[in-house]
Structure 1
Amino acid sequence: MNKPLDGKIALVTGASRGIGEAIARRLAADGAELVLHYGSGRAEAEAVAAALHDGGHRVHLLQADLAAADGARHLVDGLKALPLPRVDILVNNAGVAPFATLAETTPEVFDKLLAVNVRSLFFVTQGVLPLMPDGGRVINIGSAVSRTAFPGITAYAATKGFVDVLTLQLAAELGPRRITANVVAPGAIDTRMSTWIHAPGGQETLAQVQALPGIGQPAQVAGVVAFLAGPDGAWTTGQVVDASGGTKL
C-alpha cells in the first residue's frame, strides 16, 4: 500500500532526540527517505538512524554545529555530498531554549540563541531551497510563546517571533513554485528541554494554562508536521499551526 510520503526525501534538523526524533520517525513511517541532522548528540543520532534502518527505512546522518558561524554552510555542503537527487521536505527543528529573564540574559546566551534559532534556520533554508523541487515543503518548528507571554524566556520567545515572520515571508516568496511554508508551534512538550514539567508543581502549572489535560508528547507535534508535509497539506501555507494543547487560549 502506498504511503503519503513515498518517494519523498526529508531533512530534519536536530533529529537526535525529542521532537526532532519523533518527526523523523513519523515521516519515515509515512514513507519518506530521511536525512537526520544532529549537532553534538552523535550516539543518540546513530541510535535513531539504526532503529529506522532496522525498520526498513532509508536514512542518512549529517552532522553540523549550527551554533558556529559556518554551521549552516557546513550542513548544506554535507547535504550536497550525499547521494540524493533533491530535498522535498525541510523541517527546521534544531533550536536552543535557555531559561533566562531579561536581566539574566548574557551576551553569550543571546548570541547562541540568535546563532541557532535565527541565523542557522535562515541560512539552512536559503541553502536547501535550490535543492528543493516545485511543490516542496518548508516546516519550521516555532513555539506557542510567540503569541503568549511566559516569564523567564524573554530572548527565546523573541527568536520564535522571528520564525513566525520569516515563515510568512517565505510563503509569499515561494508560492509561485507551489512550495508551502508553515510553522508548527508546540507548547510544553515532554522532552529534555521541558524537565520542569516533572518538577514539583509542574503538572499543576500545565493544568492551569492548557485547555486540554495531560502532557504534550513529541509524537503529537510530529503528527501536525506530517499533515503539512503530506498531500493533504498542499493548500496550507503561511500559517502558524498551534500544537500546544490550547495553551493560554
Structure 2
Amino acid sequence: MPKIQLRHINVTRYILPLREGGSLPALADGDDGFKYVLKFRGAGHGVKALIAELIGGEIARILGLRTPELVFADLDERFGQSEPDEEIQDLLKGSQGLNLAMHYLDGSITFDPAVNTVDAETASRIVWLDSYLTNVDRTFRNTNMLIWHKELWLIDHGASLYFHHAFTDVEGHAKSPFAMIKDHVLLPQASELEKADEAFKKILNREVLSEIVNLIPDDWLHWEESDMSPEAIRKAYLDFLSIRLEHSAIFIKQANDARTSRV
C-alpha cells in the first residue's frame, strides 16, 4: 500500500461562511485552483475536531468509502483584517497557521433518507465506521452525507473520537459499546455488520492506523489542558484505535441490539 500522505495548500480567498453547526466552516479558495470547505482550528473544539476529522476521514478513505480529499490548509495572518462580521473576524484571527480542509463537492445535495436509498452492505460499512470512531453526528437531524454525481459521500467526522475530550482511561473507552449508534440514520439498513467487520479487519491493522495517526501535525498536539508530549498523544490515539478494532464485537453487538429494537 502506498504511503498515506496529505497535500498542503495555502488559502488564497475566504469566500463565505457555511453556517452549519457550531464550527462555522467556510468555503475558500486554495492556491491550487480548487475550492475547499475549510475547518478552523480556532472554532468549537479547536484542534481536537481537526484531529477527529483527519483520522475519521482517512480511515473512511482507506476502507473504500467515498469521502472528499482532505488537505492541510495554511491560513495567513492577512485573513480577518477586512471581514465585517466580528464573529468570523475573531475566528479567522484565531485560526492563523495550519488548518484542515476538504475538497468542495460543487453541486452536491444533502442525503435525504426519505428520498435516497442505501443498500445493506453500504449502510453496514458506514454504521461500522461510525461505531468504531464513536461518531455521534450521522443522524436523521444531520446526516453528514452528500449525494454527488449520484454517489454517496461521507463528510464531517469532527464529532468522532469523543474520548479525547477527557483523554483518560483510553483502554476503557476503546472497549466500550457505543450507545448513541441507536440514532444513526442508516442503522435500519445495516443488516451486514459482521460482514463489514470481516472485510475491514483485512484492511485495518496497527501499522495502517499508525500511518494515519502520524499524519497529525505536532502543531495540533500541544494542549493547554495536558502536559503530554505530541508522541504520547499520538500513541494514545493509536492505542484507542487498535484496541477498539480488536474488540469490535462489543460495538457490533450494541449496534445490532439497537437495530433490532428499531426495525
TM-score of the pair, normalised by structure 1: 0.29
Higher helix share: 1
Q: Between Structure 1 and Structure 2, whose CA radius of gyration is higher?
A: 2
